């Protein structure tokens, strides 16, 4: 493993986590596929570690048919039951049902705003934000409130903040990390 300085929470003995940190987390990506995939994965993270989700990601991709929103939105009871038996993913009935509902809502938001990215950006004056050491901010609180009003599940402010970090609207790489691009304040 290389010796690049990374964010303090990165388990450097875990190559999958290191690769995620180095190539994806905090990198601005407003493409539809990653926006939907990470929305679903972040909702499954509630109460769990990101490492747990990350190590099940490929199984999730297979079980969720490539995270194509139109497919997930139409998962029926038979598919939901098969997901509950899928050993490679998180088999939480509430989260699985919520993921199907959230897929339908994702499509509704796209119809209303033209894209899910447009919806997310409507909460930002500028982006990306550079901040670290937080688990929530005013944007995540407002976005979470709006999402829950629309019916999204497992989208509390902390999960929404984590989602915004994952897609790079909030860049939270720490000052000691080789990917840090913000300003050191104080």
2 pLDDT exceeds 90? Answer: no
pLDDT tens digits, one per residue of 62-87: 999 999 999 999 999 999 999 999 99
Using pLDDT thresholds of 50, 70 and 90, give the confidence band for residue 186: very low
185 pLDDT exceeds 70? Answer: no
Hey, which residues are catalytic here? 20, 42, 50
Q: Within a domain: residue 2? A: no
CA distances from 70 to 26, 54, 103, 185 (A): 26, 23, 7, 43
% residues pLDDT > 90 (the chain): 94
Q: Could you tell me the pTM of the whole model?
A: 0.95
Residue 110's CATH number: 1.10.340.30
Q: Within a domain: residue 106? A: yes
The pLDDT of residue 182 is 80
pLDDT tens digits, one per residue of 108-126: 999 999 999 999 999 999 9
Domain hosting residue 162, numbered range:
15-171
């Amino acid at each position: 493993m290389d010796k690049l300085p990374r964010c303090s929470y990165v388990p450097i003995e875990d190559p999958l986590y290191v690769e995620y940190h180095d190539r994806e987390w905090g990198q601005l990506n407003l493409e539809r596929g990653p926006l939907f995939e990470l929305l679903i994965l972040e909702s499954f993270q509630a109460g769990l570690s990101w490492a747990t989700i990350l190590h099940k990601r490929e199984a999730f991709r297979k079980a969720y048919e490539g995270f194509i929103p139109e497919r997930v939105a139409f998962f029926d009871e038979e598919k939901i039951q098969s997901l509950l038996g899928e050993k490679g993913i998180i088999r939480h009935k509430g989260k699985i049902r919520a993921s199907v509902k959230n897929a339908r809502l994702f499509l509704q938001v796209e119809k209303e705003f033209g894209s899910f990215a447009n919806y997310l950006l409507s909460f930002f004056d500028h982006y990306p934000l550079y901040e670290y050491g937080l688990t929530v901010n005013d944007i995540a609180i407002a976005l979470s409130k709006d999402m829950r009003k629309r019916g999204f599940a497992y989208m509390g402010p902390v999960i929404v903040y984590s989602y915004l970090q994952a897609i790079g609207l909030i860049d939270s790489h720490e000052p000691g990390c080789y990917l840090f691009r913000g300003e050191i304040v104080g």
